Structure 1
């Protein structure tokens, strides 16, 4: 064998060996890159999708990995896997064949500091629904990209719109639900002619919708809701013939639905609600494929197109709060599985369409405040899926179909202010879910059925101003959660059932102007929450029960009955004179307008003598005590003058103290705190109980005290005494274990005293930040967070009208002897009015460090402002730091500081209070993540307090978090926010 031949063979063998080994080298590199990705990501729960990612396994068999025919990584699909960590894009982009990267719906955080220019083969990129921070990088190099999902990813600042110019292959562009800087509609998007899905909701787009939007003729879905769009809807939008869904709600659009809108014949979902649109809605008559039509809260006029009655797919129709006239199409909702109709607050006429529950799926009939006539169609009596039936404030008449009263799932029956006749039938026993029965101001007659006591979910019964006769059901006491009973102005007779005293939750009883007879049940005196009782203009007889003396009522009226005997001593005050008039058989030793009781009226001579002696002795003691207090009050002029003023005493609970006990305790030695609205005193009662009293001086516009000669102004924040009184009265009705209890108010022309329960452990601020702070272990901090959240949830969702606190902070969260929290200090609280619209207040209020960022561009606030402030409190609980600290740097607060720490796991854990053991820091971070969601810049992206409570309860130590955030109410869209899905089973 020649030497040349031997060299040639060696050369060929070496080349073959090199070619054979090259793929193994590449594969070895890709394996290492995937192992690097695994090390950067983690998942706290099991099973872990990354468990199969081991060096001993072929990487093409890794969970979530797809390889091409050459054995290189082609796709990474790890969405919705509860992964957390900082994304190592520099490693990922070295996978030379990667064309799909899907990491949406995880908990990835930190900033994207590496550009994506080396991921040039990417066609599919999903980083949406994560917790990233900072700006999104330039992606101009990704010219092959077809699908880009960044919705709800957390990126902020200015989005690199210019980088979209070369992405002419984009089919899906989803950038919504991110707090980007405000920008006009980006021109770059108008060049993406292949787009079929464009999702730009909640990303601060402003200005007009450009006419060139009509050039994106491949669009199937166009979602622009929750932005700052203005001007008219461009006519060119009618060129989008393939459009299936169009979402424009909650913008500032004006004008009419454009001519040519009728061309969108493939449209199935259309929502332009909460804008300023006007004119008629005749253009929608051609959109025969509509499934959902939402045009509420606009200024539309004219009639509802009759063609809607022939729409075969329509299941949702919301047209409320417009100015529509004429009848509804009678066949509307009769073709498909109709879900709900809300056409409230219009000027609609004619009968109620009869067949909307034809398919047996309807959940809500909401047609209140119109001019509908005729009766309730009998078909709804068998609509067992109905949850809300509200047709109040119309001109409806006739008999209510019997089955309506007994719908098994109905929560509200509201037929008030009509001309309905007939009786409430025994079918009501089947209404096991009903909470509100509202039928006042009708022509209902007959007796209340005994079976009403079987509807045990009833909270409100409003049947006043009808012609209901007969006796009250004896079993009415079975309604244990009944709060309000209004039966005034009817024809009721017989006695008041003794069992009514078993309705332990009742706060309002009104049976005035009936023909009730017999005695007033003594059991009414044991009702713990009764606040208003009106039994006037009946035929009640006998003596007033002594047990009523224990009630402290804001409304008390027994006038014009046949009551006899002595008026109980606690009721024998001139203030009740009008409440007892019209009872000539009553007598009183003190009220001059009543005859004096005879010597034998209810007490013996010895008893009377004893009472006189005791009264005389008490008078002497009080005189001596008064002299003593007068001398002691020389320390402060305003303390000395309190007893000289004329006070108005209003109680909201059963009290064990007197007005004098409170007034006598307002002195310097009992001062425990000072605030912007007044001083706070600790009062020790003779029975050992402790109270807190806030003394608020009236001030003028300059903050100076008003003299007695000036018009009364009860606080700095209130311009009118009546407004203050109304607000206190509303807040006094609050009953919740996590809201501080207001016992009473004592007011004069110069000042006001508010008497609260005393919290011996001070405020959460004290315990976290001041020299009096004490160690709070993590379990205690968690319980404080949950309790305070439940208190705010009650204010927002549990009151008849929501209460916005507007100054939520750790110093307004007080702690009782067991460190259980109470929401306190409603000095800035605002009651949401029924006609308050989207926003509840126009007054800048709150405390620096807790104020939501929307104050920077609007004075309008709602419940979401409280949610932001509560998120700051959660950050305090987790970090132990104040909202404002020097270490945060200029123009930064605790929210900005926390966000700056979301770079890696170690940085996040460094935000946790060092006093919390390392073993519990993972639990604290769960609460920190909830705090981050609460403090999202855009109010629409924050959860409700109801959702916050749910998240916190699921974040209990050793539990996982699960949440779906939805919107509440008849007039709100019943859908989950995509943004909140990141917290769905992910912690």
Structure 2
């Protein structure tokens, strides 16, 4: 066999062997054993290496499996004791997999590093194992909406780091555990914010010891259990409380007199108990929005005087509470009041609602009282007043509207409206989205356990929630196009139910990764609804049947590769050892030969991310030289900073200004950028690409030396920070320069380069306001075999990131075209891509109307362009930008075509695209002459994939 072919095969075997060994062997075996009995596992799990093969939802750190984030995967099976072998596991989220059944294994207590255990909406049953109390690092414990039985394990009291505790909606029985000598209990959880235990079968008294002034609880939810006895006065010591629910139990006795100490509570539910004694005095509860006291046996008393003091009150539910007398007219003037229900009491006299009642009033229901007259307001009453069953209706008959029960509303109370479009008739089970696109949405139900409004016909809360959801999805770069809400309704537990639909961006269905990420933000409570309307919630995700993932290579192929790799590695082991010894000796010999002349002789490929850079023409500067040119890196010469490190201005002996990009010590990102930018820029030469003059690599320093670009970034000029006023002609010139630089990188550089981070902070402006493309830290060269189809890790900046690249992880030059299209929209609007929760591409697309002047974009366009007269070519510029941001890369033009069209637009505007710019920046009203600009600062967050943080604390 030819020796070259032999060594090529040898290298291939070595590479396969290394890949096969990515995941810790014990973790790989345990995980495969754990899921061996599961149904509906993802196709990507057919490989043998969970970490290296990129199994959906599996996260690893240094070959150890550390997270399983797998909500809504349609799994079926059981969670076996094999989970205990994953000793480095920190996060386990299997929520919304209703097919996962059976008990939790007691061995789960061996996962000592677990911080998040989230099993919402599965089918688990049996007792919660007491061993769960040994998970001392646990912060989130969410086992709600399963079928767990038996008592609450007292050992949970050992979890001193616990932030979130949700065991609601199960079949748990027995008493609430508190500490007793050596036995722990829930009273020990002083750092926990959330006690969610509603919809169980808990019984016995609420222990007085359960609450103390040391606790920091904000939610205490024990609704719909079988609790008895009185409510302890220690509840009034927890002044951090915001939501309290003990409704639908069998509580009796007097309410504690110190309830009004809870001045932060905005939702208080005590209905449907057997409470006795006087009504509590709630004076001072100035945050109270919702008060439910119905169906108790309080002592007969006059209408409380504190009614009128609850300035934040929206909802009062006090039917069947033995209240008598007249409601003062001033009560109906409370500014937020929406619903008053006082049915079945002993209210009498004349009902007077006055003339200055709340504009938000929707319902006053006073059925079955003793009201004898109604003082009608002379103004318009556009809300419901119900006096059926009162003497006033017996006297006047049934002709008055308030003496007739209003019909129940059978129409939907709310559904997200269409966005100026006509819905299509979708086929194959697809649904038309609010922007009339057919797709398979991810659906589920939001259950709000408390809320601060009661008018379910008011669209404001739902619209606010929609906007909040979209802001969250966009800011976390989730592939969501639109959301819809529908069918709001109250259930028997006084929960608000809302149907949620989440529609995919760029495709007609989600892949498994997207579904797990979207479901995760609800199961882990990283999404927080607007607090002015909504309280704590739980989400129930529906099964998703339309995953877009394509099957990976067959299992047989994967097994064959693994067997071949193992066999090859075994056979060639001895040869590898011999080759290694030989290579080591040769390497040392080469190092000694090059150490004196090669500036990268000390390059550490492991720490600096790759082999020694291959350079063409960049000068090697010494550390002492740069120290001298920057006056010892003085603060006066500090002109910017970013994730890489700091940037300094320097002056060469010739008087030429330079910009020195100095990596912070130990920066991994710096090592990557350093090598990438040197290799790429040392062979890139174009007037619209920032020039690399040299580098420094000694004394532990990594520095890049660029030409100095005096007028900062395009972002600074658009925002007004630089003081440079950009009219329409100047913006076109800048767009042209950026397009020329990018077209050069794509088609004329050798090899061609995909920039991957085109944005306004990376377009620099020289003294003539010529645009220069900068910052190649994320760039990727394309060989002939790679061009047009490059698989890579997703990187870029939020708002500029190509959705197709994000969804498929296939990088092409069309990803730069998308980012450039976003940049074009930024140029004409002076808005950041994502600003105040609004995505610029979506805003322009929804506002565009080509039948109107300036496409109906006047409110979006930057007024400093000069909109007194229609700027020539602006509409064509918008058309081109929208073609660049098409969802499919195949529909976007190449940069050479973009460049040609911008030249045509400039000619249409009466400009010569080949003319030189102004003689100096003074022509452009630079108001910051003499100021220290920061053209190299990195103010934007560079995205590199991954789930949202699991440590974001809700509420």
The TM-score normalised by the length of structure 1 is 0.43
